[in-house]
A and B are shown apart, each in its own frame.
Chain A
Amino acid sequence: MYSKKFERFILGVCTRCLTSAVNGTTTSARTAVSWTSVRKHHKQFLERRSQNGFAVVRIRHASKTTVDPNEVKRFRLLATKWWNEQGDFAALHSMNDLRVPFIRDNLLNAHGGRQPGKPLAGLRILDVGCGGGLLTEPLGRLGADVLGIDPVADSIGTAEVHAWHDPDLRGNVRYRAITLEELSEKGGKGAGQFDAVVASEVVEHLADLETFTLCCNQVLKPGGSLFITTINKTQLSYALAIVAAEEVLRIVPSGTHDWDKFVSPVELERLLESNGFHVESIRGMLYNPLSRAWSWTESTSINYALHAVKLEEEPNPDEDDPEDPTVIVAQAKARRWYN
């Protein structure tokens, strides 16, 4: 297993050297272009940041939709490869070892003791950007009623076919090829239905995070949980998640991630807190390409997982008990929002 990984690494490096040597300028120019364009972006970003001080620079243009058409195109090409555990999505398969316990344990904490064998029975979960259903299926096996949505119809097709074979999953795992906005809009039917929303490895592909947060808020029940796993926007994540993972080690297909779209936990927390969520915990995750395993870590510099809870409905101010601490917090937040 290790020798295979090492072999792939060496082969990757050799191929690049060889092709650039053999083909002369063409390939090297192409690779040079892609490297320089990334570096150009990075330099521009640094300049902008130094000019504007600590103001947040919006790389994403404010749009009404969260879906980026380029991302859709990229994932459509990978649609058939989801369930090959040793293939392009191997890292996502092994990430289940972290994210399923993370979701399961936090939901068990919030919702108390459930029946053994089906710990999440009775809970409704929405998996945003479910892809081929890699995370949806384990959650379904744990007894939850899961709806997986993804804008790429081909991925939904793959997910449906895979889940259909297993009678345990037929009852409680469903898929739909729609976007989150469409789901939260649909005549209020999508509103306030779900106990939990899971958006794993999704926010770094979105066009507009603000809309995404608002939609999540809308579809969640009060007190419901939001689980996000994504990649931090740091120099280290650039070096490891883009350069090492995509170009050198080929852990993920090249071009999967755009560093400009990464979001730091601080920014994400700010965004969530100002949209009716309370962030409960943030934990760092680390991938070991040799053992192909993920582990929890102290540092959130590269990958991290976040758990937030939708605040309970703000009660009518006239009927409030001024001593109630939740009301005081809610009112303080409301004041901050309007100021």
Chain B
Amino acid sequence: MHSLTKTALSFNGIGRRCVALNRFSETRIICRGLTCTAEHENELYDVIISGGGMVGTAMACSLGLDPNLEGKKILLLEAGNKKVMDKVPDAYSTRVSSISPGSATLLSGVGAWDHIMNMRCKPYQKMQMHITRIEEQRVEVWDACSDALITFDKENLQDEMAYIVENNIIVAALTKQLENLSDQVRVQYKSKVVKYTWPKSHQVADAIPWVQVTLANGQTLQTKLLIGADGPNSMVRREAGIPTVKWNYDQSAVVAVLHLSEPTENNVAWQRFLPTGPIAMLPLSDTESSLVWSTSHRHAEELLQLDEESFVDSINTAFWSNENHSELVETAGSLFRTALSVLMPSAGSARQLPPSVAGIGPKSRIMFPLGMGHASEYIRHRVALIGDAAHRVHPLAGQGANLGFGDVACLTQLLSQAAFNGKDLGAMQHLLEYETERQRHNLPMMAAIDLMKRLYSTNAAPMVVLRTFGLQATNTLPAMKAQIMAFASK
């Protein structure tokens, strides 16, 4: 494997004999002399983070600020350019994320939250989801709309449920914070990695025990721990041979920035489940919202082709149209609602109506395919995966970024503890703890999101009745809603 093996082995034999004769100083000098030069050419870092997106940069900030990791050499590798934002652009960008309070805590812990608040962010207190069914062949207009609805709100809790922040702003804020940590954390932009070399699982006398990272410019770096934050098509994960469970939803998401018809106190996130997929409107400001419409590939392409007016019409139709549904479902739904209101008269809040859309931001329509992915292992010896590299979800619950930030918080805490105990940062023990803790949190969340997606993709009457009942029942149980919100806020 290593070309040095024979020479190194014979050297080792000499070395051992020297040791036996109590001539240690000589051995050490020989050791240093022979391979010293080779070692110094490859810089050895304590941690290398591969991938400078939201989660990778957050990890770099978090490690750089930890007192127990002071003095450790940390490097962030990003293939793209540095994202600086001197002035916040007037136009909103299309890619946004819903940031839970737990993630907001992490971001404020690394000092980036202040930058984000100063730049631009929108808290929302309420999320309302409408579930309905539309049949495209028949057009029948019914007076009563009896779509089931569920509302999550934090009115009684006085603080925000979550925040909608543009992804660019998050990355820019974190980058700004990294500049303050330049003596702790080095960042290399435009550094594409071409190869990873993995170490043996336990020490062989002459082999290099570190992970080696070869960049496109020929530089080779070594590290005691490699953190893979390089997105859903992670090269770290692929090269490490970690099997991934993944499938593509036959859906693409169309995202756009919407101008609302009239300014409102825009603090509600709307999501309506159509049979083709959920359409969501997330508040950005009093006059603007972000659209995330998950639908079939064909429909998504059609939407992109439409002119602005038709596109706006289709959005309004999707949110406002009267449902077409069978009498069975309607009767069952209204009966159930009556029963619930008798049993729990106070539960369930007043229903609000979503705002209507007047226009869209210029050139702001894009689409991207959706899929689900989960790495069966998050860790290997000296390797850890965080963020989308480890898990990729459907945007319908707004949890993708939050799961990544949760990984950052957990791994930082475990690495900090390991460093305080004098451990080798790449050792399996604390990495296994990270994997166990995060898989226990992420898997149920991902299963729930996938289940929701499948549940609401079907038109079959029994399923519709079931989910209608389920949603109405959950809406009247504040304790259960509180549990769901607590889980999603972590």
Contact = CB atoms under 8 A, between A and B. Distances in A.
Interface of A: 83-85, 94, 96-97, 100-101, 104, 115-119, 137-142, 153-154, 156-157, 160-162, 164-167, 175-177
A101 B27 CA distance: 33
B421 A97 contact: yes
Contacts of A97: 421
A96 B67 contact: no
B425 to A, nearest CB: 9
- Chain B: number of interface residues, binned into ranges: 20 to 34
B69 A161 contact: no
A77 to B, nearest CB: 15
Interface of B: 12, 15-16, 19-20, 22, 24, 27-28, 31, 39, 44, 67-72, 202-203, 205, 208-210, 419-424, 427-429
A117 B68 CA distance: 4
A83 B68 contact: no
Contacts of A84: 202
Nearest to B21: A153
Contact of B69 (A94, A104, A117): A117
A166 B203 CA distance: 12
- 10 tightest Cβ-Cβ pairs between the two chains A and B: A138-B422, A117-B70, A116-B67, A117-B71, A141-B422, A142-B422, A157-B19, A83-B203, A116-B70, A100-B421
A214 B239 CA distance: 56
A94 B428 CA distance: 12
B202 A85 contact: yes
Contacts of B28: 160, 164
Contact of B22 (A118, A154, A164, A177): A177
A84 B428 CA distance: 12
Given A156-B19, A157-B15, A177-B22, A119 B205 contact: no
A38 to B, nearest CB: 33
A156 B419 CA distance: 25
A116 to B, nearest CB: 4
Contacts of A137: 422, 424
Nearest to B427: A85
A165 B208 contact: yes
Nearest to B420: A119
A117 B67 contact: yes
16 contacts: A83-B203, A84-B202, A94-B429, A101-B421, A115-B70, A116-B70, A117-B69, A117-B71, A138-B422, A141-B423, A142-B420, A153-B19, A157-B15, A161-B12, A165-B203, A177-B24
A138 B69 contact: no
Contacts of B203: 83, 162, 165
A83 B200 CA distance: 13
Contacts of B15: 157, 161
A38 B423 CA distance: 38
